[in-house]
């Protein structure tokens, strides 16, 4: 029966194809090793790292957001030092893109197998604290003299119920990068000037100005905080909330909030491009391909330029960096720093003492000073600033650090995800012209009030 033979041959073909596929896949897997960009100088940590009585064996898992090579290099530098006293420790680095990093962290913590030392965005920490995933660090800090060197905002930001839950590793400032060829007169110094400039660029058919939109910061808070009363900036959430009956209550739908939304609408009408979270990474490409003439992102643009082959010496020829300009009559303020925090998960597989040791190396000022000088992130401890400035070849470093004079961090609330979504939706409904500015911000405030339990 030839059908049988033919059938058997076909089945063998399937199996053969599957095996061939397995071999190819295995070969690919063998070939695949994560690319390891290196930092040139070697670092010796000057303070003694107390060696554990017995070196630890096993795999030490670290996770980081991978849109930016600097984090990986930072983790690796510190790990190489940790390895000196624990030679049999193997590293595993997990990098995820910013947007899915949060969901991944939640999933991996919920599954009970968190990384041993994850870097967590400062705005997500409250959620992890609430879910009980993090180990309090008070005991370790009590014996750690370095803690004094931390800038106060970055210390207090990590305290809940009197316990410290994380060490703030790095931070950044939000910054405009622009191509000098399109801004021969320099970057506009007021918001109104930006709007005019955008109109002119459009009229001349030149690439447009673009800003990120999102996490309630871009650009709403940039505008809002530069026009609201100064003492309000000291209130929780940097002017967004006030405390009523022991709870946070949204106040950003006042006249300043409405005015901020109106500015955003004016920006849109002038032709400024707004880039949503999905487009963040692509926006770097767009900037460096000169499809947009200016981008409001952050100090990590330095790293992006480096990654694309621009050398420090040439930067000032091509680019400039500028802070967000206030509306006429408003104040320049520092921008809202973000940053990443080192934590110890309760369910971590490695011994917690080892993880603490790693964190200490990670934030040691010599490590920080060296890594950040080469990669454009900003330190959170005062004594590292000098090292960074001294070593850094980044021509914009002084500017970045000057923006730092008044830093305020975002409100540390567990529902920040939903709150910022409400404000972002308000911005987008104005940009997409589906709602009027005052309507949008007032609806957002109503929603936020509901989220916060009012």
Partner 1 sequence: MVKLKLNLSRYFPYFYIFPVYAFIGIIIIYPIVFLIALSFFDVSLNLRYTFVGLSNFERLFRDRKFINTFKPAAIFVGGSVAGQNGFGFLLSLLLNRKVKGKEFLRALFLIPWLISDLILGYMFLILFDFHGAINDLLKYFGFQPVNWLMSTDLAIWIVTLANVWKSSCIVMAMHSSGLQSIPEELYDAAYVDGASLWQRFRFVTLPLMKPFIALSLIITTVATFNYFGVIYVITYGGPLDSTTVPTFYMYRWAFEWGQLGYASAIGVSVMIINVILTAVYIKILLR
Partner 2 sequence: MKERAADIVTYVLLFIWTAFTVFPFIQLTLTAFTGRTFITSLRPEYFTLSNFDEVIRFAGYSYVNSLITALGAMIINVPISSLAAYAFSRFNFYGKKLLQNFLFVVFATPLVTAFIPLFILFRSLRLINTLMCLILIGATTPIPLNVWFAQRYFDTIPRELEEAAMIDGCSAFRSFIKITLPLATPALVTMSLISFLITWNEFLLAVILISSPRNFTFTAALTGLGATYYGGFRYGILAAGSLLGLIPLIIFFALFRKMLVRGLTQGAIKG
Question: Which positions lie near partner 1, rule CB under 8 A?
Answer: 102-103, 106-107, 109-110, 127, 131-133, 276, 278, 282, 286, 291, 417-418, 425, 428-429, 432, 434
- Select from 104, 147, 160, 310 the one that contacts partner 2 (CB under 8 A): 104
Site for partner 2 in 61-80 (CB under 8 A): 66-67
Q: Which is nearer to partner 1, 290 or 331 (CB)?
A: 290
H/E segment holding residue 441: helix 437-451
CA dihedral 188, 190, 193, 195 (to 10 degrees): 110
Q: Which is nearer to partner 1, 97 or 406 (CB)?
A: 97
d(CA 426, CA 214): 11
25 binds, options partner 1, partner 2, none, Cβ within 5 to 8 A by partner type:
partner 2
Runs of H (alpha helix) within 177-235: 191-203, 220-227
Q: C-alpha distances in angstroms, 160 versus 78, 236, 340, 342, 411?
A: 27, 14, 17, 15, 12
Q: Which residues of 375-408 are buried (b: 16+ CB within 10 A; e: fewer)?
A: bbbbbbbeebbebbeebbebbbbebbbebbeebb
Is residue 32 within the footprint of partner 2 (CB under 8 A)?
A: yes
d(CA 102, CA 416): 13
Tell me how far, at minimum, the Cβ of 393 lies from partner 2, in Å: 27
Tell me how far, at minimum, the Cβ of 350 lies from partner 1, in Å: 21
Is residue 309 within the footprint of partner 2 (CB under 8 A)?
A: no
Q: Which is nearer to partner 2, 75 or 248 (CB)?
A: 75
Tell me how far, at minimum, the Cβ of 344 lies from partner 1, in Å: 16
Q: C-alpha distances in angstroms, 88 versus 77, 83, 390?
A: 17, 7, 35
Count of residues that interact with partner 2, criterion CB under 8 A? 48
Is residue 28 within the footprint of partner 2 (CB under 8 A)?
A: yes
Q: Which is nearer to partner 2, 94 or 233 (CB)?
A: 94
Contact 199, 284 (CB under 8 A): no
Contact 155, 126 (CB under 8 A): no
Is residue 33 within the footprint of partner 2 (CB under 8 A)?
A: yes
203 binds, options partner 2, partner 1, none, Cβ within 5 to 8 A by partner type:
none
Q: Which residues contact 442 (CB under 8 A, 6 or more apart)?
A: 253, 258
**Contact track, partner 2, 267-286, x by CB under 8 A:** ----------xxxxxxx-x-
Output the six-digit token pair for 299.
Answer: 């100090």
Runs of H (alpha helix) within 32-124: 69-85, 98-110
Is residue 100 within the footprint of partner 2 (CB under 8 A)?
A: yes
Tell me how far, at minimum, the Cβ of 58 lies from partner 2, in Å: 14
Q: Which is nearer to partner 2, 33 or 317 (CB)?
A: 33
418 binds, options partner 1, partner 2, none, Cβ within 5 to 8 A by partner type:
partner 1
Tell me how far, at minimum, the Cβ of 279 lies from partner 2, in Å: 6
Q: Which residues of 94-118 are buried (b: 16+ CB within 10 A; e: fewer)?
A: ebbeeeebbebbeebbeeeebbbbb
Is residue 145 within the footprint of partner 2 (CB under 8 A)?
A: no
Q: Which is nearer to partner 2, 113 or 255 (CB)?
A: 113
Residues near partner 2 (CB under 8 A) are 3-4, 7-8, 10-11, 13-14, 17-18, 20-22, 25-26, 28-35, 66-67, 92, 94-100, 104, 107-108, 110-113, 277-283, 285
């Amino acid at each position: 029966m030839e059908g049988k033979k033919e059938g058997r041959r076909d089945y063998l073909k399937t199996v053969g194809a599957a095996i061939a596929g397995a071999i190819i896949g295995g070969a690919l897997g063998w070939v695949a090793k994560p690319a390891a960009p290196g930092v040139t100088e070697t670092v010796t940590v000057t303070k003694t790292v107390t060696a554990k009585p017995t070196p630890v064996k096993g795999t030490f898992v670290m996770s980081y957001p991978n849109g930016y090579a600097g984090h990986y290099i930072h983790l690796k530098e510190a790990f190489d030092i940790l390895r000196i006293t624990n030679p049999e420790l193997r590293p595993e680095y997990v990098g995820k893109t910013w947007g899915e990093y949060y969901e991944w962290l939640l999933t991996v913590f919920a599954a009970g197998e968190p990384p041993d030392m994850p870097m967590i965005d400062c705005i997500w920490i409250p959620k992890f604290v609430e879910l009980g995933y993090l180990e309090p660090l008070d005991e370790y800090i009590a014996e750690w003299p370095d803690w004094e060197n931390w800038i106060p905002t970055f210390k207090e930001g990590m305290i809940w119920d009197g316990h410290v839950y994380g060490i703030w590793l790095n931070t950044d400032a939000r910054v405009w990068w622009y191509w000098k060829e399109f801004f021969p007169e320099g970057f506009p110094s007021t918001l109104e000037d930006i709007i005019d400039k955008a109109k002119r660029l459009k009229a001349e058919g030149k690439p447009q100005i673009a800003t990120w939109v999102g996490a309630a910061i871009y650009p709403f808070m940039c505008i809002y905080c530069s026009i609201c009363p100064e003492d309000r900036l000291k209130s929780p959430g940097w002017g967004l909330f006030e405390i009523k009956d022991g709870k946070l209550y949204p106040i950003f739908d006042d006249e300043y909030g409405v005015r901020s939304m109106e500015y955003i609408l004016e920006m849109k009408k002038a032709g400024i491009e707004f880039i949503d979270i999905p487009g963040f990474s692509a926006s770097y490409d767009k900037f460096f391909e000169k499809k947009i003439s200016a981008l409001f992102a952050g100090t990590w643009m330095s790293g992006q330029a480096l990654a694309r082959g621009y050398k420090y010496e040439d930067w000032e020829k091509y680019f400039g960096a500028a802070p967000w300009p206030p509306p006429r009559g408003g104040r320049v303020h520092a921008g809202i720093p973000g940053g990443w925090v080192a934590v110890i998960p309760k369910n971590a597989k490695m011994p917690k003492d080892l993880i603490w040791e790693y964190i200490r190396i990670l934030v040691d000022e010599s490590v920080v000073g060296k890594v950040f000088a080469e990669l454009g992130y900003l330190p959170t401890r005062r004594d590292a600033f000098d090292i960074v400035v001294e070593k850094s070849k980044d021509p914009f470093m002084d500017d970045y650090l000057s923006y730092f004079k008044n830093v305020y961090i975002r409100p540390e609330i567990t529902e920040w995800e939903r709150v910022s979504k409400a404000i972002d939706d308000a911005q987008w409904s104005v940009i997409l012209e589906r709602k009027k500015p005052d309507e949008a911000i007032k609806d957002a405030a109503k929603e936020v009030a509901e989220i916060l339990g009012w």
